[in-house]
Structure 1
Amino acid sequence: MRRVLAVHFAPCALFVAGVCALLRAGSFVGRSQWHAVPPQGLSDALRLTVAVAVGSSLLGLLLQPFQVRAVRVLEGYWDRWPFTARLAEVLARVQRRRWRVLRKRALGTAGGDMADGVRADAHRRLAVQPPGDRLLPTALGNALRAGELSAGERYGLTTLTSWPRIYLQVSDRMAEALRSARDALDTAVNLCWSFLALTVTSAAALYDEPSAWWLCGAGLLLAWVAYKGAVTVAQAYSGLMHLVYDLHRFDLLHALHLPLPPDREGEEEAFGEVSDMFEGVRRGYGTYDHGPTDS
């Protein structure tokens, strides 16, 4: 219930309430009469509350199946149409340029406390980004891709194929932390879309009222704040992905009834074979370990 309210209902309620305010003010048919927006009496307030609640619920239910798509669009997966694909390439070049600047700062040799602070900041910012040749057009996409490309790869596992399987092996505390971070990410993404949609709607209603254009600017500012919040949460979520593999990678082998590796070299070999099996490169594993209770 908490996820439904925070992730789906609240952002939709914000948009529906904003549209209702514009409608009550008559912004779509003439000059806005803002004094008509507040409810006039208890019955009017009740009707307005019911309208916002029902509209938000229906809109939330309608948009819920598109949650993954809503995140992926803000990540920068825009290769479906030629124009957006070209825009993605332009923005990806900008991201790569920034990445190279950060790398130069991280490798800087200048002395002094200030230079050490600059290098430390550059190292920290590079740590939450993927390699330069795998950058996406947006900061949100790069924050999530950093986890998708390195969390399991440090141990020989392919993250994208092993994540759905290892996620089911995590402890209750880790699962709660992951759910909380994911809910916060989805909420921030939906708030960003809600503010953007409300900005576009306000621009259509207030195009002939320059004195009210500040509302559109405020909507864009709030969308930017929500997006920055999504990036911050995405970085935390990627960090949790790394922790999952640190703590539960051997639980994955146990669940698959595979023997534990004796050393680091054997670990990379074992997880490489498991990744090949997940990707369909090989059909099975050589030796199984069913444990003493299954013998």
Structure 2
Amino acid sequence: MTICGSLLGLLLQPFQVRAVRVLEGYWDRWTVTARLAGLLSRLQRRRWQALQRQAHGLEGGDTNLRVRADARRRLAAHPPPDALLPTALGNALRAGELTAGERYGLTTLSSWPRIYLQVSDRMAEVLHSARDALDTAVNLCWSFLVLAGVSVLALYDEPSAWWLCAAELLLATIAYKGAVTVAQAYSSLTHVVYDLHRFDLLDALHYPLPPDWDSEEQVFSDVSDQFAGIPREGRIYDHLGRRSRPSSPQENEKPGDV
């Protein structure tokens, strides 16, 4: 069984993106799965509404304060109610996809491939580690699900061995819960990327840095339009800016410097 699971994990590697997206809840391509997705999405909205009531509807008492704090923390790991997906994994990842860059006026989905290339080596290592952990958890979940299906077919006439199927389903559930936890951490890291490297994106595009918050939101909104193919006129380039910084202290000592 262990060897089969390892082989299945290797076979899933080329289809990694699809394996994750199926567990996220993108099931709209087929009628039956689309109906199931709608049903589960409504359930997710009810849970979101329950968390909303817990976060804002309780009064008084130290216990209630803790309940509200926990509900707000869990709400932060969810996307807006009109963007909820059928599964917890999908909502954990979508929370980052719809809010990380939007706080600054950037569209996350279009700007992420570009800003990702501007991150520091240290941040890139952390992102790779989180993504690898997510892919591993997803692969384990699928492996245990497939093994459970194979075990049902192989052991249908041996009731004394049915516990093996239940154990494999339990392990698949644990792997899925692990994937959700890692996905929430990964979404938090995407927020950190925009916090620390959004101006590096402007630098790479040769745009001047905004002088204040209102200008920043307008600049990033224009950049997002550009990424979406919407032409913007009047954009001024800054071909010197921070790119003129020397690479070594010795180069910084130029003739005429005071």
Normalised TM-score (structure 1):
0.79
* RMSD across aligned positions (CA): 1.6
What are the superposed Cα offsets for residues 124-183 of structure 1, whole Å, 9 maximum, x if unpaired? Answer: 100111011110000000000000000000000000000000000000110000000000
Alignment partners' CA distance in 2, 1:172 and 1:151: 20
Structure 2 residue 250 is matched with structure 1 residue 262: no
Corresponding residue SS for 2:117? helix
Structure 2 residue 224 is matched with structure 1 residue 275: yes
Alignment partners' CA distance in 1, 2:182 and 2:120: 21
Structure 2 residue 146 is matched with structure 1 residue 171: no
Alignment partners' CA distance in 2, 1:289 and 1:228: 47
Runs of 5+ in structure 1 lacking a partner? 1-12, 18-51
CA contact (8 A) 1:15 1:195 kept: no
Q: Which residue of 1 aligns with 2:101?
A: 152
Structure 2 residue 169 is matched with structure 1 residue 220: yes
CA contact (8 A) 1:189 1:226 kept: yes
Runs of 5+ in structure 2 lacking a partner? 245-258
Alignment partners' CA distance in 2, 1:283 and 1:268: 15
Out of 16, 19, 24, which is 2:4 matched to?
16
Alignment partners' CA distance in 2, 1:173 and 1:60: 28
Q: Which residue of 2 aligns with 1:88?
A: 37
Q: List aligned pairs for 1:1-295, cutoff 5 A.
A: 14=2, 16=4, 56=7, 62-282=11-231, 286-291=235-240
Partner letter of residue 159 of structure 1? T
CA contact (8 A) 1:15 1:197 kept: no
Normalised TM-score (structure 2):
0.91
What are the superposed Cα offsets for residues 24-43 of structure 1, whole Å, 9 maximum, x if unpaired? Answer: xxxxxxxxxxxxxxxxxxxx
CA contact (8 A) 1:15 1:198 kept: no
1:64 Cα deviation (Å)? 2.2
1:283 Cα deviation (Å)? 5.8
CA contact (8 A) 2:12 2:19 kept: no
1:286 Cα deviation (Å)? 1.4
1:110 Cα deviation (Å)? 1.4
Alignment partners' CA distance in 2, 1:84 and 1:283: 41
CA contact (8 A) 2:55 2:72 kept: yes
Alignment partners' CA distance in 2, 1:152 and 1:60: 33
Partner letter of residue 214 of structure 2? E
* Cα distance change of structure 1 residues 285 and 82 upon mapping to structure 2, 3 Å threshold: farther
Alignment partners' CA distance in 1, 2:196 and 2:150: 47
Size of the aligned set, in residue pairs, is 243
* Cα distance change of structure 1 residues 212 and 109 upon mapping to structure 2, 3 Å threshold: closer
Alignment partners' CA distance in 2, 1:184 and 1:285: 44
CA contact (8 A) 1:91 1:137 kept: yes
Alignment partners' CA distance in 1, 2:27 and 2:55: 31
Partner letter of residue 177 of structure 2? K
* Cα distance change of structure 1 residues 65 and 119 upon mapping to structure 2, 3 Å threshold: same
What are the superposed Cα offsets for residues 91-139 of structure 1, whole Å, 9 maximum, x if unpaired? Answer: 0000000000000110024100111111111001001110111100000
CA contact (8 A) 1:277 1:284 kept: no
CA contact (8 A) 2:12 2:139 kept: no
CA contact (8 A) 1:188 1:229 kept: yes
